[in-house]
Amino acid sequence: MAENDAAPTVKEIPGSYGVPFVSSIRDRLDFYYFQGPDKYFQARVDRYHSTVVRLNVPPGPFMASDPRVIAVLDAKSFPVLFDVSKVEKKNVFTGTYMPSTSLTGGYRVCSYLDPSEPSHAKVKQFLFDVLASRKDAVIPAFRSNFAALFQTMESQLASAGKSDFNKLNDNTSFDFLGEAYFGVRPSSTELGGTGPTKSTKWLFLQLCPLMTLGLPKILEELLLHTFPLPSLIAKSDYKALYKYFSDAAGSALDSVEKLGLSREEACHNLLFATVFNSYGGMKVLLPGILGWLAKADESLHARLAKEIRAAVAGEGGKVTLNAVEKMELTRSVVYEALRIDPPVKYQYGKAKQDLVIESHDAAYQVKKGEMIFGYQPLATRDPKVFDKAEQFIGDRFLGDEGKKLIKYVVWSNGPETETPSVANKQCPGKELVVLVGRLLVVEFFLRYDTFTADVGTILLGSQVTVTSLTKSSSSSTT
């Protein structure tokens, strides 16, 4: 990235919020229906010739009290959002609105806490401990659950000629996460097969202000984007999910008092981190990766299959962490999917003090208390950093030049080259997520040489319907 040595002069931030109330409604119609997120932000960058710009974000009134933000829309300005000495991350996880805490047992869970709040470190440490204690369970749990998924996929293809990956992934990821984190598959408990539906309902109440469902606009505006839906709708679902966590995570919860947390607060946090952060993430990430692979050249499939099968053969036919670490192309593909289509696209932080934000071209003055917002896809598809930024290039991160780009992959709310800690707001699931993304690719290409799929969009991610699978021509593995 070209950078000027001399400090640029500080400019006023261009852009406009328009007429209060009226313009924010007009803008949200553009965002949801007339332009869509990519065009909405790009159009404003183009209009004001600036990647730092004042604009309104959805949902706006009455859901959010103030839709006005300073948008940071390139790779240079975006990282201000990672600096918790400069931005406050209190109650900004979902943006300018915050879902009711009655959806989370009355607690403000970790994602809504600023690191300056004492419970942030306690809860985040608890989550780190749970993940660390279960790290050896991840690969076996992934393999067994996704082996069953691929079997179902094959039989659906044989009988119906197509298979809805998202639907299969929803059920499989839910069981995988329960088994990986707590050793208990949710479907083998009282929850039975209802976990994913209950979770989706609860997630919907929190995320619907950011979604469109294709219903008549007026209905969506009134139902989804103007007032919060009553949390009562998901009360019994949440209760059933909580029961699973309280039973299945019993031994993890036994250790929380020494961290200074109540069992109850820890359990609500565990539920949120598993269902919202992890399950919500997998619902978007895994179809995203498969979708990009479906659209990629068949030669990429062949290279992946070769790399993956050789690394697994080198470990005596076993999928070990060591084998996965050797798969450089596989890792690059997962980074590329996370770069081109980050699963969590919006990040927010309130200026803790007056500060200056630098873009590639200029520097801008921000006042204490102003809301800074990043639309991550514009930062990770910044043409000043990434060549052919709009293209999915599977081997982009290979070699010395490729490795230099890894720091610009920021899906985890921080550079991929940095580490989450109790003092920052980087995702504590960072290592796990990149591992799980790679495991999907590994399991897939151990079984198949290539495939075809229809890729569309759904709610906050991709919809992938697999239409053919070509079974592996090489010998199988354990």
CB of 50 to ligand HEM, least distance (A): 23
The nearer residue to ligand HEM, 94 or 332, going by C-beta atoms, is: 94
Q: Distance (Å, rounded) from C-alpha 205 to C-alpha 380? A: 29
The nearer residue to ligand HEM, 25 or 110, going by C-beta atoms, is: 110
Kindly state the DSSP code that residue 348 receives in the 8-state scheme: E
The β-bridge relationship of strands 346-351 and 87-88 is antiparallel
Q: Distance (Å, rounded) from C-alpha 126 to C-alpha 439? A: 25
DSSP H or E run through 443? helix 430-447
* Structure tokens given for 277: 């952060």
Q: Distance (Å, rounded) from C-alpha 167 to C-alpha 265? A: 31
Our finding on whether 432 is near ligand HEM (CB under 6 A) is yes
Our finding on whether 137 is near ligand HEM (CB under 6 A) is no
**Sign of the C-alpha dihedral, residues 92, 97, 101, 104?**
negative
Kindly state the DSSP code that residue 408 receives in the 8-state scheme: G
- The site map against ligand HEM for 273-302 (x = CB under 6 A) is x---xx--x---x-----------------
CB of 432 to ligand HEM, least distance (A): 5
Our finding on whether 127 is near ligand HEM (CB under 6 A) is yes
> How would you label 209-248 residue by residue, b for 16+ Cβ within 10 Å and e otherwise?
bbebeeeeeeebbeebbbebbebeebeebbebbbebbbeb
Q: Distance (Å, rounded) from C-alpha 76 to C-alpha 389? A: 15
CB of 145 to ligand HEM, least distance (A): 15
All residues at 6 or more sequence positions from 152 whose CB lies less than 8 Å from its CB, including other chains: 163, 168
Given a contact cutoff of 8 angstroms between Cβ atoms, the answer to whether 318 and 478 are in contact is: yes
CB of 337 to ligand HEM, least distance (A): 10
All residues at 6 or more sequence positions from 223 whose CB lies less than 8 Å from its CB, including other chains: 208, 215, 229
Our finding on whether 178 is near ligand HEM (CB under 6 A) is no
The nearer residue to ligand HEM, 114 or 361, going by C-beta atoms, is: 114
Stretch that binds ligand HEM, among 2-10, 13-21, 390-398, 420-428 (CB under 6 A): 420-428
Q: Distance (Å, rounded) from C-alpha 223 to C-alpha 225? A: 6
The site for ligand HEM, by CB under 6 A, has a size of: 26
CB of 407 to ligand HEM, least distance (A): 16
Our finding on whether 311 is near ligand HEM (CB under 6 A) is no
CB of 277 to ligand HEM, least distance (A): 3
The residue type of 85 is S
Given a contact cutoff of 8 angstroms between Cβ atoms, the answer to whether 429 and 281 are in contact is: yes
Q: Which of 108, 425, 438, 447 binds ligand HEM (CB under 6 A)?
A: 425
Our finding on whether 347 is near ligand HEM (CB under 6 A) is yes
Q: Which of 412, 462, 465, 477 binds ligand HEM (CB under 6 A)?
A: 412
Our finding on whether 124 is near ligand HEM (CB under 6 A) is yes
Q: Which of 57, 308, 351, 427 binds ligand HEM (CB under 6 A)?
A: 427
CB of 363 to ligand HEM, least distance (A): 24
Our finding on whether 451 is near ligand HEM (CB under 6 A) is no
Our finding on whether 195 is near ligand HEM (CB under 6 A) is no
The nearer residue to ligand HEM, 60 or 428, going by C-beta atoms, is: 428
Q: Which of 145, 173, 413, 462 binds ligand HEM (CB under 6 A)?
A: 413
Given a contact cutoff of 8 angstroms between Cβ atoms, the answer to whether 105 and 268 are in contact is: yes
All residues at 6 or more sequence positions from 14 whose CB lies less than 8 Å from its CB, including other chains: 48, 49, 50, 53, 54
Given a contact cutoff of 8 angstroms between Cβ atoms, the answer to whether 461 and 287 are in contact is: yes
Q: Which 53-112 positions form the footprint of ligand HEM (CB under 6 A)?
A: 89, 93, 110-111
What are 69's strand-pairing partners? 55
What are 462's strand-pairing partners? 457
CB of 106 to ligand HEM, least distance (A): 18
Stretch that binds ligand HEM, among 192-200, 410-418, 450-458, 461-469 (CB under 6 A): 410-418
> What proportions of the chain, in percent to the nearest 5, are helix, strand and coil?
55, 15, 35
Q: How far apart are the first and last CA of the chain?
A: 44
CB of 230 to ligand HEM, least distance (A): 26
Our finding on whether 209 is near ligand HEM (CB under 6 A) is no
The nearer residue to ligand HEM, 112 or 448, going by C-beta atoms, is: 112
* Structure tokens given for 292: 């990009």
The nearer residue to ligand HEM, 411 or 451, going by C-beta atoms, is: 411
Our finding on whether 344 is near ligand HEM (CB under 6 A) is yes
The residue type of 327 is M
Q: Which of 375, 411, 448, 451 binds ligand HEM (CB under 6 A)?
A: 411
Spell out the alpha helix ranges (H) of 78-212: 118-133, 138-160, 165-182, 195-207
CB of 167 to ligand HEM, least distance (A): 18
CB of 237 to ligand HEM, least distance (A): 21
What residues make contact with ligand HEM under the rule CB under 6 A? 89, 93, 110-111, 113, 120, 124, 127, 131, 273, 277-278, 281, 285, 343-344, 347, 411-413, 425, 427-429, 432-433
